[in-house]
Amino acid sequence: MIPGGKKIQNAGGFEIFLIADYQDQDIRNFALADALVLDWQQPDHTTALLKKIRSSFIESIYLLPVFIFNADGIVGDTERALSDGELSVVQEEPIVKVIRQVKKRREDFTPHETNSSENRILTKLFRYMYTRDKALSPEVDVMAHMGYEYPLIRLHYPAGESMEMLKILRRGTDNDFFQGTFVDKTHICPSCHSGHLNLREVCTQCASAHISSENLIHHFVCAYMGPEGDFMTKQGLVCPKCNRQLRHIGVDYDKPSVIYRCHDCRHEFQEPDITALCLNCKTLTPVENLKEIVLDKYVLTDLGRDAARTGIKVEGEEREFTIPGFVNFGTFLTFLRFEIERIKVSGKESQMGSVSLNLPARLRSNRQQFERVVLDISDFIRNNTDSSDILSFASDNTFFMIFPEKGDTAVATMLNDFRNSIEKLLVNTFENEPEWNLTAQFETLNADTEYTALINQVKTI
């Protein structure tokens, strides 16, 4: 049973829940559901929950069939892309169809563990697309940094990291997992990659947008040429050179071109420059220097479907990142299970801590520098923990620690020290790049701790 959820009875006996109450919903509760129907009465909450579900790395959660029950509202493109469909009445048939397909496809999957966050995201993406036969399409989104979004990928990249988002798609196509077909093109600011641009015609001399244009008139009979204003009189258009009235365009006169005038510097010109003002970072860029982005619609290739089943195996891509004194994540999970079993027997309490770096992909792209930082941090953690503590580093992002029977207060203080020291280290390494969100937290392990729930929680960190 899901708190705030109402079970929808169905002939297949599937666990389908209608969620209308979004208060304190914990996605871990959905791991055992077969499908969800989210009520669109509170669109913001629906969207937030939907994004939470799809951004999870737990397969049973992010692959969960989710429908939107929408009696009278309008569902956005993002929600449409992240859900499995809209229902105007709660019907069993379409939901069950998706449940059956997803379940069947999931049977093909083999377990996949990786240290690479990119591979993790791609594998997740492939599995989602594979279970639904879904294509990955760019969606127009005025709230998006670039103006376009691939909603499913965006969940894993903060706003402003559009290029990283596109890079992962390119990797997918470069390795023949995806086949892309052209959908659209967009132009973005070369400085901050925002697609929110104000394109303006500007003065060729002073770049002011305070310009206006006027038609030029050619009076055939006397060959006078000048702006329309020269001809304007109360009697209509009268030639300032020969005083004749201009009656008939094409016979007496024509308008062969226009002239622009700058109201700031008085410059006159015929072809204004066009510059783009980035509404995000205020940078002015001539249109020819804007970055052009091609937006493709992606479908899985045979290779992509294989990768969905087995996880990505690209030679050379996934290098084992071993840190002295740290166990790999699989081993760590085994230790964690043993520790939970142990304290259940002993009746004591232990702690599991984590420090997440949350570095933007941009800072991770210089691999050498990133690994050096991680090794420095791990040295520091190792030197400040006991030899009985179990340490691990996962997903290019998070340090995990098991502190057997150390006590909540001691662990809280220790993690706080870790966070402060790591922050200093990051400041020294990435000058002028204060874009990380360092988090440190811990869980108390005691007799009530459920291994599965904890594992799920660990995987979502």
Partner 1 sequence: MIEFWQWFFDFWLNVSPERIVRLFWYFFLLEVPRYLLFDLVVVILFMLKRLWNSSSYQAANSQLFVENPLISIIVPAKNEGKHIPKLVESLTEQTYQNYQLIIIDDGSDDNTPLICRKLEQEGKIDLFLRNEERGGKASAANLGLRFAKGKYIVHLDADTSFDRDAIEKILTPFYTDPDIGAVGGNVKVRNAKEAVIAGFQAVEYLQTITMGRMVASYLGIYKIVSGAFGAFRKDLLDRVGGWDIGPGLDGDITVKIRKMGYRIVFEPRSVSLTNVPTSIKKLTNQRFRWSRSLIRFRLRKHADIFVPDQNFQFSNFFSSLENLFYNVVLDALWFYYVIRLVVQNPDIIFLMIVMKMFLYGMSNFVQVILVCLMSERGRQEIKLLMYIPFMSIYDGYYLRIVRTVAYFREWLTSSSYNDAWNPSKSSVQAKEHRL
Interface pick for partner 1 out of 198, 257, 331, 358 (rule CB under 8 A): 257
Interface pick for partner 1 out of 1, 143, 221, 447 (rule CB under 8 A): 221
Q: Residue ranges of the alpha helices (H) in 158-210?
A: 162-174
Q: Does 286 engage in binding with partner 1 (CB under 8 A)?
A: no
Tell me the chain's radius of gyration from C-alpha atoms: 30
**C-beta of 257 vs 365, nearer to partner 1:** 257
Min CB(215)–partner 1 separation in Å: 12
Interface pick for partner 1 out of 259, 363, 375, 455 (rule CB under 8 A): 259
User: Of the listed pieces 11-19, 55-63, 119-127, 264-272, which binds partner 1 according to CB under 8 A?
Assistant: 264-272
- CA-angle at 360, arms to 167 and 56, nearest 5°: 80
Tell me how far the alpha carbon of residue 257 is from its chain's centroid. Answer: 47
Q: Does 74 engage in binding with partner 1 (CB under 8 A)?
A: no
**C-beta of 93 vs 248, nearer to partner 1:** 248
Q: Does 230 engage in binding with partner 1 (CB under 8 A)?
A: yes
Spatial separation of the C-alpha atoms in residues 424 and 411, rounded to whole Å: 20
Q: Does 229 engage in binding with partner 1 (CB under 8 A)?
A: no
**β-strands 273-278, 284-286: how paired?**
antiparallel
**C-beta of 252 vs 435, nearer to partner 1:** 252
**C-beta of 29 vs 208, nearer to partner 1:** 208
**C-beta of 22 vs 269, nearer to partner 1:** 269
**CB atoms inside a 10 Å sphere around CB 220:** 12
Q: Does 220 engage in binding with partner 1 (CB under 8 A)?
A: yes
Give the x/- contact pattern for partner 1 in 103-142, rule: CB under 8 A. Answer: ----------------------------------------
Min CB(201)–partner 1 separation in Å: 15
| The token pair that represents 306 in the structure block | 């294989």
Interface pick for partner 1 out of 13, 250, 316, 434 (rule CB under 8 A): 250
Spatial separation of the C-alpha atoms in residues 356 and 439, rounded to whole Å: 5
Min CB(198)–partner 1 separation in Å: 22
If DSSP codes are grouped into helix, strand and coil, which group holds residue 421? helix
Interface pick for partner 1 out of 48, 71, 206, 242 (rule CB under 8 A): 242
**C-beta of 229 vs 325, nearer to partner 1:** 229
SS3 content of the chain, % helix, strand, coil (to 5): 35, 25, 40
Min CB(189)–partner 1 separation in Å: 22
CB-based contact 189:283 (threshold 8 Å): yes
- H/E stretch holding 51 reads helix 43-55
Q: Does 246 engage in binding with partner 1 (CB under 8 A)?
A: no
DSSP string, 228-279: HHHHEETTEEB-TTT--B---BTTTEEEEEEEEEETTT--EESS-EEEEEET
Q: Which residue, 130, 132, 170, 163, is CA-closest to 148?
A: 163
Spatial separation of the C-alpha atoms in residues 369 and 397, rounded to whole Å: 14
**C-beta of 270 vs 452, nearer to partner 1:** 270
Q: Which residues bind partner 1 (CB under 8 A)?
A: 204, 216, 218, 220-227, 230, 240-242, 250-252, 254, 256-257, 259, 268-271
